[in-house]
C-alpha cells in the first residue's frame, strides 16, 4: 500500500497583472494557509518521504512552507511537467519513483489535480487552493500506478473547513 498526498498550491496573488502566470507568488492568505497545511500533515503523522512540486512560484512556495511546517527534511523535487500538469504528467512522475517511497506528496494545479484524484479514486472532489487529499493506493510499486488503479480517498482537508 502506498499513500499519495495531493496538494493544490495555496492562494496566489494577482497584484501584478503583467507577471507571467508561472511567476505569480502567494498572496497573504496563501502565505498563512500553507503552514497550516504543514502543521496538519505533522499532526496527522503524514510527513511525506518525498515532495514533488510544480515549478510555478506559487506551488514551490507552498511546498517549501508546508515542508518547513511539517518537519520534512528531504529535498523538494521540482518537476517541470507539473506545470500546468495533466493527470498523465503526474502519473509519469510517480511511476519513476523508487519503491521505498511509501508516502509521496505532489504539489500542483487544477484542473489536473482534480482530474488525477478522480482518475485514481472514481470520486469527483473539488480541490480549492491549499486543499490536501490523502489517497491510499493498493500498489506495491509506483510503476504499477495508472488510471486503472482504484485508490481510496481517506480524507480531504480544505482550508476553509479547518478550525
b/e 3-17 (16+ beta carbons within 10 angstroms → b): bbbbbbbbbbbeeee
DSSP class of residue 97 equals: S
Contacts 24+ apart (CB under 8 A), 97-101: 97/50, 97/142, 98/142, 99/140, 99/141, 99/142, 99/143, 100/49, 101/2, 101/49, 101/50, 101/142
pLDDT digits (tens, 9 = 90+) for 26-74: 999 999 999 999 999 999 999 999 999 999 999 999 999 999 999 999 9
CATH value at residue 78: 3.40.50.1240
CA distance 87 to 11: 21
Number of domains in the chain: 1
Please tell me which residue, 162 or 5, carries the higher pLDDT value: 5
pLDDT at residue 89 in the model: 97
pLDDT digits (tens, 9 = 90+) for 9-28: 999 999 998 999 999 999 99
Alpha-carbon dihedral of residues 116, 121, 123, 129, nearest 10 degrees? -40
Q: What are phi and psi of 94, to 5 degrees?
A: -65, -35
What pTM was computed for the model? 0.97
Identify the domain containing residue 19 by its residue range: 2-161
pLDDT at residue 162 in the model: 85
pLDDT digits (tens, 9 = 90+) for 148-158: 999 999 999 99
pLDDT digits (tens, 9 = 90+) for 69-110: 999 999 999 999 999 999 999 999 999 999 999 999 999 999
Amino acid at each position: 500500500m502506498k499513500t499519495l498526498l495531493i496538494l493544490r498550491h495555496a492562494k496566489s496573488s494577482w497584484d501584478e497583472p503583467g507577471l507571467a502566470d508561472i511567476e505569480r507568488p502567494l498572496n497573504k492568505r496563501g502565505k498563512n494557509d500553507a503552514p497550516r497545511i504543514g502543521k496538519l500533515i505533522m499532526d496527522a503523522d503524514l510527513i511525506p518521504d518525498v515532495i514533488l512540486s510544480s515549478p510555478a512560484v506559487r506551488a514551490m512556495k507552498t511546498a517549501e512552507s508546508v515542508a518547513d511546517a511539517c518537519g520534512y527534511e528531504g529535498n523538494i523535487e521540482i518537476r517541470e511537467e507539473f506545470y500546468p500538469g495533466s493527470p498523465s504528467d503526474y502519473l509519469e512522475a510517480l511511476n519513476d519513483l523508487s519503491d521505498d517511497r511509501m508516502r509521496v506528496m505532489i504539489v500542483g494545479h487544477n484542473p489536473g489535480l482534480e482530474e488525477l484524484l478522480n482518475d485514481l479514486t472514481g470520486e469527483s472532489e473539488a480541490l480549492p487552493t491549499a486543499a490536501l487529499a490523502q489517497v491510499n493506493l493498493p500498489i506495491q510499486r509506483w510503476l504499477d500506478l495508472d488510471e486503472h488503479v482504484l485508490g481510496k480517498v481517506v480524507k480531504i482537508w480544505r482550508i476553509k473547513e479547518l478550525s
